[in-house]
Structure 1
């Protein structure tokens, strides 16, 4: 998901401006969806879920990840990372699809690999799926001189290096002159499947700086740019300025045993993904952030980073005993779990049978994988969306007695203070089709049929 604490990102963004700026519109009130979303113009399957990156898996264990041409999404690392096939300058890569960040990057062939303590290690340690992007082999690559791509993720992974422009294609949707990072320095605990990431959030969250020295990257020299989807809209490649995501869950057996799961959902551009849905649907405004307070705001001039929505309530056994509303919650395909306020997480996990235990060695709530899962509903825009109990159990291994143990899908995201970000990750997104319209600053959520 996002790479900076949001307050830092907001203060950083407040001093700079993107080259391509969409006009801020007044946020609309939540409303039931009464107009059918168009069929996708371009659709790719998630080629699967690859094994989650070692760092993200460790973070999971430690609790811190008409005619339609749709792309399939796959899954890697025990169904923790959704990836799809992306072509960059004629070269093919499996990239993580992330609505919680904005940059597209692929390491440059010959990159230097480091561990999370910044010690040089063998390139194999970074465990990318390919040797990287070969600048010399692309006839369309153009360098962006005197700038640098520089990003550090919350788990300590980092990438740094040159920036360039090239033709990037996803599921038949192709844009030219897309800015992206081609890092030569990488600390990445990969899965041997993905070779980078494609970010789909807002321009102000991008990570290019007007300096070649990564130690000097700051808000004062940030150079926001158009992420892939914004470029597609700018180049008029889409009739409808929306993209849509459906993420399929893997089975418990797949999550426990498989490094790579094929065909686990769709990423669609220009319309809704082709999966069965119900009549429960709502369109809500995306919340911006105040440049002065770092708190979500619908005021004119607010800055957009994430797909932040207003959660009216979480409903589960015992939820009537506490306030569960939360208006600083982001929809993030790049995070596996739901992260909710501390008291909400504690009350929900206590409702498992047997009750989930907050294990300090794991760093989160765990239960036997055969536990009875309590109902969990998320109310957004006046509509309730249900989360299947199968999404609330993620295997992490066996205990001393050989019992398969699971981490629960809804975990403690910290105190419910105004500037703390909470997350509806893949655990929630398995149950809905999320259709994003960053141009109109809206998200449509549609309940999927049971599968």
Structure 2
């Protein structure tokens, strides 16, 4: 999600009480994988929509839709197993990936986010605010439904004397009550999931989504042992199991991993259509059902030291995000730079890639004509018809290529109605101890990413061209 979420999570290190620490086994070395090593998914859910990114992300990307890949000669396809197939969609010019959930029997379209951990749906009658904290009409928050009706759910159980409080990097925030309920996505259903039902929201919605489902680690959750959300702090944080870990604990999946394949959309779709259905899959217990090739690797999730807050691979590392070591970025001129980085998050909730400053500058200079840094927006702007330089990412000794179509993105129009384009790989700040970078949807369009939060591993497989 947003940078503020990242920094807030890291600020918890060293101050959270020991009983709240999230410590799991971390594999110590990358290993080669092939698609057949991963079983077919028990439940595969299509992304039902792609929706607008929150404002901080909207400036970075207005379009990433797509269609499920078709099999091509000579390409192996990872096939889904039994159970329902759940597709993800996109809306607000394909800036968010959504799929259909039910909470207490009530249907909602939720954002699927591997860069955060909370699942939340605003309750009916919530109070809406602008980003400055001023009350505004409920319609301003632009959720896709009026919200969750607690009284209409036969399975909702309140969690007394606690509160939910989160602020995203673009200034959006939510706070309010917490409870437990049954949540279903496709054929997967958990019966006792902790969920936030905020009654205060500052949200720049798209008229489609009515909340978010987080799939990162427990240490990143935002429930606190206080009824006053303004008093939330690291000292009273109450970490809990996110949705998928609850499914594992309830033995609803045979294998403790989920898999995501995000499709890209056409340039025209990204620029002109605020809603785009069928943009890939989220699958549970096995690999997402799209064609893949043999480039594959399993790598350990990068943890963080409880004392320093810096990346650490030791057995006592605490997990927050699906953070991996980047061995190198390869593009024309990259041999003149240090491109390795060990603090990079795989995040479906961020559209762009955010890489170290010198890497972003060198890569964007290779577009023809060159991409230019817009000082007002702090983004590289590029000619929409520019020639795109190749860009490869090496992780665990395996190199994954990014399609050129992911590197030029329509991001609105100027005063004369001309389309403004930005590049898919942007400046994430200077490299240094503790600096965090992101491989977002621009990278994830090109791989099947399978996340194992129990073993602390991620398997990446190069997708076939589509």
Deviations 1:309-360 (A, max 9, x none): 0000000011011110011000000000000000000000000000000012
148, 152, 159: which one pairs with 1:144? 159
Asked if structure 2 preserves the Cα contact closer than 8 Å seen for 1:18 and 1:223, the reply is: no
1:56 positional shift: 3.3
Asked if structure 2 preserves the Cα contact closer than 8 Å seen for 1:43 and 1:269, the reply is: yes
Are 1:348 and 2:379 counterparts? no
Match of 1:44 in 2: 45
CA distance, structure 1, for counterparts of residue 293 and residue 215 of structure 2: 26
Match of 1:57 in 2: 58
Asked if structure 1 preserves the Cα contact closer than 8 Å seen for 2:28 and 2:300, the reply is: yes
Are 1:416 and 2:417 counterparts? no
- Secondary structure of 1:133 counterpart: coil
Q: 1:48 to 1:336 in 2, by over 3 A?
A: same
CA RMSD of aligned residues (A): 1.7
1:206 positional shift: 0.1
1:18 positional shift: 6.3
Asked if structure 1 preserves the Cα contact closer than 8 Å seen for 2:60 and 2:411, the reply is: no
Match of 2:78 in 1: none
Q: 1:347 to 1:183 in 2, by over 3 A?
A: same
Asked if structure 2 preserves the Cα contact closer than 8 Å seen for 1:434 and 1:446, the reply is: yes
CA distance, structure 2, for counterparts of residue 7 and residue 200 of structure 1: 18
Equivalence map 1:28-427=2 (5 Å):
28-34=28-34, 36-54=37-55, 56-58=57-59, 66-399=81-414, 403-427=418-442
Unaligned runs of 5+ in 1: none
Q: 1:431 to 1:68 in 2, by over 3 A?
A: farther
Asked if structure 1 preserves the Cα contact closer than 8 Å seen for 2:305 and 2:318, the reply is: yes
Asked if structure 2 preserves the Cα contact closer than 8 Å seen for 1:53 and 1:77, the reply is: no
CA distance, structure 1, for counterparts of residue 128 and residue 18 of structure 2: 32
CA distance, structure 1, for counterparts of residue 331 and residue 433 of structure 2: 23
CA distance, structure 2, for counterparts of residue 211 and residue 3 of structure 1: 25
Asked if structure 2 preserves the Cα contact closer than 8 Å seen for 1:16 and 1:224, the reply is: no
Give the structure-1-normalised TM-score: 0.96
- After the TM superposition, which of the residue ranges 33-42 and 212-221 deviates more from structure 2? 33-42
Asked if structure 2 preserves the Cα contact closer than 8 Å seen for 1:6 and 1:294, the reply is: no
Q: 1:342 to 1:49 in 2, by over 3 A?
A: same
- After the TM superposition, which of the residue ranges 70-79 and 397-406 deviates more from structure 2? 397-406
1:307 positional shift: 0.2
Q: 1:133 to 1:55 in 2, by over 3 A?
A: farther
Deviations 1:7-35 (A, max 9, x none): 6424425423567x876324231111155
CA distance, structure 2, for counterparts of residue 60 and residue 114 of structure 1: 24
Q: 1:132 to 1:110 in 2, by over 3 A?
A: same
CA distance, structure 2, for counterparts of residue 383 and residue 120 of structure 1: 50
Match of 1:429 in 2: 444
CA distance, structure 2, for counterparts of residue 399 and residue 216 of structure 1: 43
Give the structure-2-normalised TM-score: 0.93
1:69 positional shift: 2.2
- Secondary structure of 1:427 counterpart: helix
Moved over 6 A (4+): none
CA distance, structure 2, for counterparts of residue 126 and residue 18 of structure 1: 36
Asked if structure 2 preserves the Cα contact closer than 8 Å seen for 1:51 and 1:260, the reply is: no
Q: How many residues align?
A: 446
